[in-house]
Amino acid sequence: MRPCTSTSSRFLARSCPVNAQATGRNFASSTCSSNAEAESSRAAMSRSVADTSASVTRADREEAFQRRLRQIQAFRRQKEATHIKIPFIPQDEASQPIDTSPTPLRAALSTLMASGAALGGSPKNLNKNYKNYIYGYRSGLAIIDLEKTLPLLRHASAVIRDVVKADGVILFVGTATGMERCMDKAKKRMGDNGFMTNKWIPGLLTNPQSLFGLQPLLKGSNAPDLVVFLNPADVSFGVRECTVRAIPTIAIIDTHLDPRVVTYPIPANGDSLRTVELICGTLSMAGAEGRRMRLREQEALSSRAQKRAAAQDEVREEEEHEEEA
């Protein structure tokens, strides 16, 4: 018998020499070849399965990495698109409690905000000269910066206080529905220094003789010293008449109006009746304060005059006694 010369045959001969010698059987060359081919196919199959599992594992890892990378990129884009303003707190002040106690400034701003004074109109109707008083835009509305409204309101209040203190006349003008009540309260607070009207007649200031005749002028009636317009958009001719007569004006200016048409503009929501009542009440209380100041000064002057007169009477009596003596 010719021995197997192939590598598989030699491998089989080496792996099973004892069994072959113990049984005394002779393996044919065809049997050796088939066994060798089966062993080689099983080895190749095991290697292919190992390679396939390794490739699948690498693919899964690559897919998981790409998925995680996409999630991170989406999170970064979302974070960049979201504008979050976090105040910077120094390290030495981080342990200190934040002061949330109410102050006059915070209370005034909160009151204006609660009345709806910050809500403007549509950005499409925004006046180009009004941009300095705009805080931003939200939900299709222009938001008025109340931190700029408050100083202008205080300035207008100081003007009214000084005018009333000097015994001037203030005229409140409001033609919209619901404004008559707040103007009536303002008139009562200011006494004989406050007047109101809910209807502006054209020519009221520029042509008064044709409306009232000459008798009011002969009696000493004259134009007001200051005019407050609560809805200037509806009485624009009244604002023009005040400009012609050089009468200073105070007005609540909404976002679609030009703040330069009046002397002392107050940027606020003119469509809100609560805002109008708040501003009108603030101005009238300033006028009432000016009236009290004037009355106190008059009382002080009268008391000083009485003391001076009493001192003069005493001196005169002493002189008379000396003459009699």
* 194-205: pLDDT as tens digits: 999 999 988 888
The amino acid occupying position 134 is I
At residue 148 the predicted structure's pLDDT band, cuts being 50, 70 and 90, is very high
Amino acid, single-letter form, for residue 264 = Y
Q: What is the mean pLDDT of the chain?
A: 80
In angstroms, the Cα distances linking 233 to 258, 264, 323 are 10, 15, 75
The separation between the first and the last C-alpha atoms of the chain, rounded to the nearest angstrom, is 184
User: What pLDDT score was predicted for residue 321?
Assistant: 79
61 alpha carbon, distance to own chain's centre: 50
DSSP state at residue 225? S
Q: How many residues does the chain have?
A: 325
pLDDT digits (tens, 9 = 90+) for 166-211: 999 999 999 999 999 999 999 999 998 999 999 998 888 888 777 6
Q: Which domains, ranges and CATH numbers included, belong to the chain? A: 146-304 (3.40.50.10490)
Residue 252, number of CB atoms within 10 A of its CB: 29
Could you say which DSSP state residue 93 is in?
G
Question: Quick check: 22 pLDDT over 50?
Answer: no
What is the spatial distance between Cα 204 and Cα 212, in angstroms, rounded to a whole number? 9
pLDDT of residue 12: 42
Say how many C-beta atoms besides its own lie within 10 A of residue 265's C-beta.
23
Pairwise CA distance, residues 83 & 219, whole Å: 66
